[in-house]
């Protein structure tokens, strides 16, 4: 940050005085204090340090601490640490300066090691020390160390100090011990906003949304951190609509505080979750008006938001706006994952290669996005090549997630035996994601033998996941093995498990509308079903034939066709056609995998109504246009 106005006037006068009296410790101390609060001051600070050594100025406790603070604030923690290491009798001030420096640079382990060194030198921590130390305990997290530090606070009578008390509440909340956090909160004589905020964030973290809401309502004075904690908490707990509403409330005229860049990156994932593109664009416009859109983290969040809302073009545009020097591995990963989720494997590979060429080293997330992109696009040879290069070339050890992508890659391509061989040769125990990838591939290629092996493993690993039972049941039904279908359905009833209902939602004019399979509760239900009733005849003229294998109950073909027409994604598409002008792109989000018949129908609907239809299901995007899907029916 630039010099504050009062400091701009103070510094030249101090430098002139130093020129006249270069042996005065107080002058050096005052100048180092100013340099600590300014950017790009390291070189000048080093020159002054050399000057005081040249003139033999004694490093008293205050001057040592100021010098260490200057180095630490400039990012030169090595020089700051050497001051402490080489000082014959370091003071508490010097320890505090280094503890603060490590904390501001986000190195909690070094904060704690410096704190331990401080205690070993028999120096007493004070109310300046403990907040940074407790923050380190919270960041790690290390509840046992935090409790030990709390006991030291008690011995010194600092537990109820405003800053120390707030830090203790924050530490316990981030470590998940809400009982201790709330007990401290209740006994604090003075509660500042940070105490309230720490408790609110803690309850949101463990999913106690109602308690957090009660605290927020009771809070005497809210600040931007309070509002952001609620928005972030709603987003993390799956209440995206509520997060967006609270953000709107925050922006209303009369609210005392305005959203900052942290608020913006907290609410953008809510837009992504709800596929609320209109609201995401509105928030982007707000960020632009406030100058937040130039912040690297906001830029990355915008890329992710647009990609998950189905606008790959805008995601790419936002990515291009990020200066090359700010394109971190996180930024590249976001773009690679965006291409992957939209089935653009070639672009995902191209982005990965550009990232390598720019000197950025890939991490585990990079390979997850890359391998997933190869899988969705059938790039088997390239996917295998990149998987083999992970540890040998880039020193990234494959995890369950990477093996799941590899099994999915081979499974989608029909190489089920090879996928099974890899599972048997893995150095780590295959988890649910790996067996789940194999089971899904077996469903696509109708390999019942391997499907039974995968499903039986999943029944043990995920006993409460009804989807695995239903998928295998559907395969038995396709094979007309009704005895095993009956047995699995009975098992589901015994366990009290039910199939997750299909749900789809879409955003029309900034409002989100949701539909369940067979839904008749919507006020336009009659119009929606009338449109869907007429659709099959129009589609059959174009060559459509209902795929009733996706309705595997023992009912007539006519009943099966009726069941297909009531699938949630078809209801959402029909609603969009009825409520938007011709040519408007329809965006639909599905909580499960889109069924084969709905996929086929969406292609015909896009051609008949001359619409682009973008459907995001649980694993990827499908872009339907002119009777063709972007996945090229490889999904």
pLDDT tens figures, 226-250? 999 999 999 999 999 999 999 999 9
Residue 247 lies inside a defined structural domain of this protein? no
Maximum average pLDDT range among 30-34, 61-65, 114-118: 114-118
**Does residue 141 have a cis bond before it (omega within 30 degrees)?**
yes
For the chain, helix (H) and strand (E) counts, in that order, are 33, 6
Q: CB under 8 Å to 108, separation ≥6 — which residues?
A: 102, 135, 136, 137, 139, 140
Residues 231 and 222: their CA atoms lie apart, in Å, by 13
pLDDT at 338 over 60: yes
pLDDT 10s digits, 514-524: 999 888 888 99
Q: What is the mean pLDDT of residues 151-176?
A: 93
pTM: 0.84
Q: Are 508 and 625 members of one domain?
A: yes
526 and 599 together in one domain: yes
On whether both 566 and 510 belong to a single domain, the answer is: yes
**Is 506 strand, coil or helix?**
strand
Whether residue 92 contacts residue 126, with contact meaning beta carbons closer than 8 Å, is answered with yes
Give me the number of domains the chain comprises: 2
Residues 183 and 186: their CA atoms lie apart, in Å, by 5
pLDDT at 393: 96
Compute the mean pLDDT over every residue in the chain, rounded to the nearest whole number.
89
Residues 430 and 450 in one domain: yes
Tell whether 318 is covered by a domain: no
Cβ atoms of 350 and 360 closer than 8 Å: no
Distance CA 326, CA 293 (A): 13
Q: What are phi and psi of 629, to 5 degrees?
A: -105, 145
Whole-number percent of the chain with pLDDT over 70: 94
Closest CA to 36 of 96, 126, 90: 96
H/E element holding 616?
strand 613-616
pLDDT of 448 > 90? The answer is: yes
Q: With H, G, I as helix, E, B as strand and everything else as coil, classify residue 566.
A: coil
Contact 465, 454 (CB under 8 A): no
The two three-digit tokens of residue 580, written as one number? 């938007």
Among the residue ranges 26-35, 154-163, 256-265, 615-624, the one predicted with the least confidence is 26-35
Q: Which of 467, 495, 523 is the last residue of a domain?
A: 495
**Distance from C-alpha of 146 to C-alpha of 536, rounded to nearest angstrom:** 65
* Whether 507 and 617 share a structural domain: yes
Same domain, 609 and 545: yes
Instruction: For 549-583, write each residue's pLDDT tens digit.
Output: 555 444 434 444 445 678 999 999 999 999 999 99
Looking at residue 4, what is its pLDDT?
A: 44
**Following CA atoms 268, 269, 275, 276 in sequence, which dihedral angle do they give, to the nearest 10 degrees?**
-30
The whole-angstrom distance between residue 517's C-alpha and the CA centroid of its chain comes to 29
What is the DSSP secondary structure assignment for residue 252, as one 8-state letter?
S
| 615 phi/psi in degrees, rounded to 5 | -115, 125
The separation between CA 589 and the C-alpha centre of its own chain, rounded to angstroms, equals 19
- What is the pairing mode between strands 586-590 and 613-616? parallel
Residue 470: pLDDT over 80: yes
Q: Give how far Cα 214 sits from Cα of 129, 192, 206, 219, Å.
A: 32, 17, 15, 9
Element spanning 99, H or E? helix 92-104
Determine, yes or no, domain membership for 74: no
* Phi and psi, residue 58, nearest 5°: -75, 130
Buried (b) or exposed (e) across 548-580, using 16+ Cβ within 10 A?
bebbbeeeeeeebebbbbbbbbbbbbbbbbebe
Final residue belonging to a domain, choices 472, 495, 518: 495
DSSP helix/strand/coil, 517: coil
Are 588 and 481 members of one domain?
no
485 and 567 together in one domain: no
Q: Which of 476, 495, 514 finishes a domain?
A: 495
Q: Which residues contact 306 (CB under 8 A, 6 or more apart)?
A: 277, 280, 312, 314, 315, 318
Q: What three-state secondary structure class fits 629?
A: strand
Give the pLDDT confidence score for residue 237 in this predicted structure.
95
Work out the angle between the directed axes of helices 240-251 and 277-290 (0-180°, nearest 10): 40
**pLDDT at residue 45, as a whole number:** 80
Please compute, for residue 465, the number of CA atoms within 13 A of its CA located in the half-sphere on the CB side.
15
In a domain, 370, yes or no: no
And the tokens for 427?
């150095």
Q: Which domain holds residue 476?
A: 416-495
Contact status, residue 329 vs residue 355, Cβ threshold 8 Å: yes
Tokens of 511: 């409002």
Residues 528 and 568 in one domain: yes
Label residue 63 by pLDDT band (50, 70, 90): confident
Strands 621-625 and 628-629: antiparallel
Within this chain, do residues 436 and 554 fall inside the same structural domain, yes or no? no
- Checking if the pLDDT of 546 tops 80, the result is no
Q: For residue 15, what pLDDT is reported?
A: 73
Confirm whether 528 is domain-assigned.
yes
Domain contains 476: yes
To the nearest 10 degrees (0 to 180), the angle between helices 261-274 and 224-236 is 20
Q: Are 508 and 620 part of one and the same domain?
A: yes
In a domain, 66, yes or no: no
Task: For the chain, give the percent of residues with pLDDT over 90.
Answer: 64
Sheet arrangement for strand 621-625: 511-516, 503-508, 586-590, 613-616, 621-625, 628-629
Mean pLDDT to the nearest integer, 341-370: 97
Domain identity same for 552 and 474: no
Answer yes or no: is 480 within a domain: yes
């Amino acid at each position: 940050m630039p010099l504050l106005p009062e400091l701009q006037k103070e510094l030249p006068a101090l430098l002139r005085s130093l020129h006249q009296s270069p042996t005065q410790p107080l002058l050096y101390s005052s100048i180092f204090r100013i340099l600590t609060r300014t950017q790009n001051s390291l070189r000048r600070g080093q020159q002054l340090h050399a000057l005081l050594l040249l003139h033999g100025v004694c490093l008293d406790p205050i001057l040592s601490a100021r010098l260490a603070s200057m180095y630490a604030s400039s990012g030169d923690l090595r020089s700051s640490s050497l001051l402490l290491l080489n000082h014959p009798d370091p003071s508490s001030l010097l320890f505090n300066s280094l503890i603060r420096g490590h904390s501001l640079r986000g190195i909690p382990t070094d904060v704690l090691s410096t704190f331990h060194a401080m205690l070993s030198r028999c120096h007493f921590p004070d109310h300046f020390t403990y907040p940074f130390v407790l923050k380190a305990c919270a960041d790690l997290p290390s509840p046992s160390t935090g409790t030990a530090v709390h006991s030291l606070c008690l011995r010194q009578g600092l537990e109820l100090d405003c800053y120390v008390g707030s830090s203790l509440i924050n530490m316990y909340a981030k470590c998940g011990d809400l009982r201790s956090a709330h007990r401290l909160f209740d006994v604090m004589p003075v509660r500042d906003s940070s105490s309230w905020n720490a408790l609110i964030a803690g309850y949101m973290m463990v999913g106690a949304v109602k308690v957090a809401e009660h605290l927020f309502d009771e809070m005497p004075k809210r600040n931007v951190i309070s509002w952001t904690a609620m928005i972030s908490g709603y987003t993390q707990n799956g209440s995206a609509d509520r997060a967006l509403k609270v953000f709107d409330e925050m922006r209303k005229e009369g609210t005392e505080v305005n959203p900052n860049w942290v608020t913006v990156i907290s609410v953008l994932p809510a837009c992504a979750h709800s596929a609320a593109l209109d609201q995401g664009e509105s928030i982007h416009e707000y960020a632009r008006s406030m100058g937040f859109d130039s912040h690297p983290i906001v830029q990355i969040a915008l890329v992710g938001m647009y990609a998950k809302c189905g606008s790959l073009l805008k995601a790419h545009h936002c990515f291009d706006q990020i200066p090359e020097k700010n394109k971190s591995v996180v930024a590249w990963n976001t773009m690679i994952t965006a291409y992957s989720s939209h089935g653009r494997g070639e672009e995902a590979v191209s982005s990965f290669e550009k990232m390598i060429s720019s000197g950025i080293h890939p991490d585990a997330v990079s390979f997850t996005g890359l391998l997933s992109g190869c899988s969705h696009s059938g790039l088997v040879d390239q996917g295998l090549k990149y998987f083999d290069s992970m540890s040998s070339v880039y020193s990234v050890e494959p995890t369950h997630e990477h093996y799941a992508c590899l099994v999915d890659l081979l499974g989608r391509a029909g190489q089920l035996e090879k996928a099974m061989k890899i599972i048997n040769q893995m150095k780590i125990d295959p988890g649910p994601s790996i067996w789940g990838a194999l089971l899904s591939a077996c469903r696509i290629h109708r390999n019942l033998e391997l499907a039974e092996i995968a499903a039986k493993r999943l029944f043990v690993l995920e006993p409460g996941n009804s989807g695995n039972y239903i998928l295998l049941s559907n395969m038995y039904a396709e094979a007309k093995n009704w005895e095993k279908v009956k047995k699995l359905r009975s098992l589901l009833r015994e366990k009290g498990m039910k199939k997750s209902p299909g749900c789809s939602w879409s955003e029309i004019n900034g409002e989100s509308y949701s539909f369940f399979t067979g839904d008749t509760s919507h006020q336009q239900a009659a119009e929606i079903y009338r449109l869907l009733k007429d659709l099959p005849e129009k589609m059959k003229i174009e060559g459509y034939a209902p795929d009733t294998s996706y309705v595997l109950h023992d009912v007539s073909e006519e009943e099966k066709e009726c069941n297909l027409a009531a699938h949630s994604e078809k209801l959402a598409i029909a609603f969009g056609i009825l409520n938007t002008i011709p040519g408007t792109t329809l965006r639909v989000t599905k909580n499960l995998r889109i069924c084969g018949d709905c996929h086929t129908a969406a292609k015909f609907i896009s051609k008949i109504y001359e619409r682009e239809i973008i459907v995001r299901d649980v694993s990827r995007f499908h872009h339907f246009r002119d009777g063709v899907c972007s996945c090229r029916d490889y999904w």
